[in-house]
Amino acid sequence: MNNHVFTHLDALESESIHIMREVAAECKNPALLFSGGKDSIVMLRLAEKAFRPCKFPFPLVHIDTEHNFPEVIATRDKLASDLGERLIVRSLEASINRGSIVIKNPDLPRNPYQSVTLLETIEEFGFDACMGGARRDEEKARAKERIFSFRDEFGQWDPKNQRPELWDIYNTRVHPGENIRVFPISNWTELDIWQYIGRENLEIPCIYYAHEREVIRRGNSVIPVSDLVQPKPGEKVEVLSVRFRTVGDVTCTAPVESTAGTVEEIIAETATTRITERGATRMDDQTSDASMELRKKEGYF
């Protein structure tokens, strides 16, 4: 006799699996964006539950800034290899070499330029739908977006012209050159993600857990010292116990001070925080209230 009680995680999982299957059924050539971060790892598990024992009906795709944490890239490659799924990696460095991206200051974060390489990749493979791990609770602009988010022939998003999704009915119609961005975990929260990681015993990059790291204090953020980030005159290098709530471009992703070294400790810490995930740790999102929305209008995920 099955005594399993249907929980809110089961409801979220069921919704996400339904969305993924809808993409596979309605779209001709979809892709799953997979970076090796915690949200995309949850997406990977959901795809397993949606389509195993068959192969995924889409490849995994990563737009690599070349400014990633090595622990995340190692996890990306290992999980894709363990599952035996196709992983397509396209690099901003290649776009820079082609001249389609021009970065005047090499010290600036590369996140804002990802949209160029993403749109080039969509055109290269003819993807009509790209699934990603964005969530509504991360950032104000992402809270505006539908689960099936239409992009025009220029890859741009118009927040004032979105398709209705009444009763979870999704419109997947696109014309040649257009595509849809799909967010299967849009209704999840950061706390839901960590509870699911714990329930499913998912392997994630070690830097999500508390560890000692050399950092510098810059503005209101604690910045990890690396080959790409060195202390400026007057900045002092400290060794602190930190963990990352989100991972991205090394030059603009800040950890938080923490001693939470287990999933249970992170769940307890997450349940009491009042600061949003990206608001606390992504310096490129803090430069302007509209920065993310402007980047999304230009094609950013």
Digit-coded pLDDT (tens) for 49-87: 999 999 999 999 999 998 999 999 999 999 999 999 999
Bridge partners, 216 (sequence order): 223
The H-or-E segment that residue 61 falls in is strand 60-64
Q: What pLDDT is attached to residue 283?
A: 55
Name the 3-class secondary structure at 242: strand
Q: Decide: 80 and 262 in contact? Cβ < 8 Å.
A: no
Name the 3-class secondary structure at 131: strand
Mean pLDDT for 131-155 is 79
% of the chain exceeding 70 in pLDDT: 87
pLDDT, one tens digit per residue, over 168-209 is 778 788 878 778 999 999 999 999 999 999 999 999 999 999
Which segment, 16-25, 160-169, 284-293, is predicted with the most confidence on average? 16-25
> Under 8 Å CB-to-CB from 200, ≥6 apart: which residues?
45
Name the 3-class secondary structure at 150: strand
Angle between helices 190-200 and 263-272 (to 10 degrees): 160
d(CA 113, CA 133) in angstroms, rounded, equals: 19
Mean pLDDT for 208-231 is 90
- Answering whether pTM is above 0.75, one says yes
Judge whether residue 287 has pLDDT over 60: no
Mean pLDDT for 127-142 is 84
Query: What integer best gives the mean pLDDT of the chain?
Result: 87
